[in-house]
Structure 1
Amino acid sequence: MKKVNLVILAFLCLQLPFLAQAQENKEVLVEENESKVPMLKGNMRFHTKTYEDQSQNRNRTNVDFSYEHSSEAIYKDGQNLISRSYFTIDLGKGIWNGESTAPDVRVWGSWMVGLNAVRQMKVSNNFYVKGLAGVHFHNFKFADDNIQAIKGAESVEFLERAGGIKSKIAASYLTLALIPKISTGHNGFRIGAGPYAGYRLGGRGKFVYQDNGRNKDFDRSDMYLENLRYGIRGELGVSWLDFFFNYDLNHVFQSNRGPEVSAMSFGIIL
């Protein structure tokens, strides 16, 4: 028994120098920093830690990064509702409805894309107003590929063609919106609705058809599209996911220049 104890004691004595050296070589945290880079509706978070090894007189830095979604960027550090600016993208479907004389528009193939600069203004702990300024692109694709839209002498005309592959009317608008919103908290539920108005920047018709190869006809006129558009925009969000719905209260075409149809669009906010 004494012999075993002596062996253990001798082993511990041999380990003491190494333990002392390990203690001397222990790194010490000398600096810690955290920074954020705003990205759409969240932040890229960088966390750095610098360690110093006094025995070898050298430093070592670790860098960790992660994406922090901030629930429509309405909260700071996941807690306090604040006023701030950010950028979003509307990505969804765009259709019209109204008079039966208008060509049917495909839900699949018709789209709306919006590029928006957003300013949110805090009113109270659970209420804020969202201001939006952006450019919205609408694309109305006809269900019948053999219909071509052209600008006639008095109104837009829809001609029957042969060999159609794709036919559509496209328009872009400079858009402003003001949306009061209620929020239940970080990663909670958000809902709001408010008015929007837009001014047309461009419009055209496009007809793609097969005739000894693939051909395209463009009508780069204004297509008698209304210069001004206005309507109601609704937004609904939960956790990191947000949706929009736009409904125009005016018609797509000028009065007596085309069928009385109103546009609507719906989709996701990125």
Structure 2
Amino acid sequence: MPSTNYEEKPFLICKDHTVSGRFFELKKDEDLDLLVTHPRPEIEKLPEYYKSENYISHTDSKKTFFDKIYHLIRSYMLRKKLSWIKKAKKEKGNLLDIGAGTGDFLKEAKEQDWKISGVEPNTGAREIAYKKGVHLKADTSSFPSDHFDVITMWHVLEHVPDLDIQIAELDRLLKRDGLLVIAVPNYNSYDAILYKEFWAAYDVPRHLYHFSRHSIRKVFRKFSFKVCSEKGLPFDAFYVSLLSEKNRYGKSHPLKAFFNGLRSNLEARWTKEYSSIAYFIKKS
């Protein structure tokens, strides 16, 4: 678990714009450079905060123009992500995706000859994945130790109730020479600093933790993992800016969101502080 060395004053106070309308504090763990959502919903009540048609990763919704654009970009990024993994891990083997949503990443990986396994706690999302030929489990408990060559978590680590328990489980499941790929939002990005409490990637209380590039390294170092490389996810800046505009003004303002996303990516070319970052991590 994170330490209890929090700043006395909240880093930010954010509203749940998706489900409850409640306000939550983000407290900064100075030791880990990590933001933590307070109060934390009880574990058994967390699923209530995901019950929204706007939660696109669980629904495959393509109702609006922006939903369709989201899925088009996601299809491109699925192939891009697998190309990154192939470059980092030359030989294909057993791949586990935790928080697999509706199974699109694993479906693409299967078509590229990976031996796939996946975990998704949401029943509705698992049912959609099953129709695509992707069979997902509700948790990782039945998987053998030292089994996977690659484990991916695409925008999932920020959701887990206990970081230490989750990372210890990753350590159990991953082969000694295996590869972890962890993608999370970055609260030091230009768009995060611009939108402040309206930044959509805070997404309280579904996001229980909020990472910087420093905090990822510190959290995984505790378990003898080392970040070997990073890949910025530039499309996230545009999507998050679009949602952030709606959080702030009640409307999406797509042109303004586009320029803010573009500015964020241009800044990140020099600072490396992309809106979201994929970290490639190995056992040290």
- Give yes or no for TM over 0.5: no
Higher helix share: 2
TM-score by length of 1: 0.22
- Which protein, 1 or 2, shows the higher relative CO under an 8 Å CA cutoff with sep ≥ 6? 2
| TM-score of the pair, normalised by structure 2 | 0.21
Higher strand share: 1
